[in-house]
Amino acid sequence: MVRPGQNRKSAILFASFIALTFICLSGCDSNSTKPSTATKQTAIVPINTPKFNADSAFAYVKQQVDFGPRVPNTKAHVDCANWMSAKLKEYADTVIVQSFQVRAFDGKVLNSRNIIASFHPDLGNRIMLCAHWDTRPFADQDVERKNEPIDGANDGGSGVGVLMEVARQLSIANPHLGVDIILFDVEDYGQPDESDFPTMEDSYCLGSQYWTKNLHRSNYQARYGILLDMVGSANIQFHKEGTSMQYASDVVDKVWKVAEATGYGTHFINQQRNGIIDDHYYINKSLGFKVIDLIHFEESAPSKFWKHWHTHEDTIDKIDKNSLYVTGQTLLEVLFREVSM
């Protein structure tokens, strides 16, 4: 993509060059040894943002769903982790699989994996993109089969699908930019409201909590981060989530301005919603670098989240390719503007 105004500026520079040449030919002695008074023009660097492929992102979402619910301690969970790690190794410069165990609210020890794919790991001033990849082990917001796991096409699958396509595009374009894509595990094994177990504080987001205490690189920091959660529903709408505004309002403004400039402003609503506890909360709180959450809010739903949140209706047929495109293209626009600065 060319920066707005590029053609007009190029025309002005060309016209100026012709005018200077005409003046020199008309009024200057061709044998003159006087130094030229013309000044060197600063080059204008275009933003060559690649085009996000929504079909590819959808295929990544479908592949996750095809494994089955990605609940820790299941075969589907292991198979999906192996597939994601192998696929990201095709794209990224380095991939680190952080294996660990955590104890859930119900006493179960969960075998878990955070997957970290890095581009240009030698560069400082990094940007982090993240999403969770596990799925809810029970449908506590449904009216039936409440104790059965959900497919998690949107809640779990969509954010990962977008980030894997972003990784593929970064591998092709290879911008001189440090980017880390982190897929967090055990985000969605949180304690239900109707649980009979003793209350466990901070029962959600166990993978990101573990990572903040066990960084994949010592003293890791990023300039800012963007978390994706439930980004694949039809008619996607991102409001300014409250925790993001509390810790990283300038990053929210940056992303919203890019979305507006690239024609996706109708999906990025200039209204604030209540803050939520998601993976970004623990990173902001523990590590001190700014992370925002792109998450779909739905005012008409009882939860105010997506209407199929934590239900058995979170299936692949609910994934909208246009929503994947809007999310993914906005991320690419944000990243490639950093390269051109």
Per-residue pLDDT of the chain (341 residues; tens, 9 = 90+): 333 333 333 333 333 333 333 333 333 333 333 333 333 333 434 578 999 999 999 999 999 999 999 999 999 999 999 999 999 999 999 999 999 999 999 999 999 999 999 999 999 989 999 999 999 999 999 999 999 999 999 999 999 999 999 999 999 999 999 999 999 999 999 999 989 999 999 999 999 999 999 999 999 999 999 999 999 999 999 999 999 999 999 999 999 999 999 999 999 999 999 999 999 999 999 999 999 999 999 877 777 789 999 999 999 999 999 999 999 999 999 999 998 66
> According to the model, what pLDDT value does residue 31 have?
37
Contact (CB, 8 A) for 323 and 248: no
Contact (CB, 8 A) for 121 and 178: yes
Domains present along the chain, CATH in parentheses: 1-46 (no CATH), 54-340 (3.40.630.10)
pTM: 0.86
- 68 phi and psi, to 5 degrees? 105, 180
> According to the model, what pLDDT value does residue 341 have?
65
Q: Give dist(CA 206, CA 187) in Å, integer.
A: 6
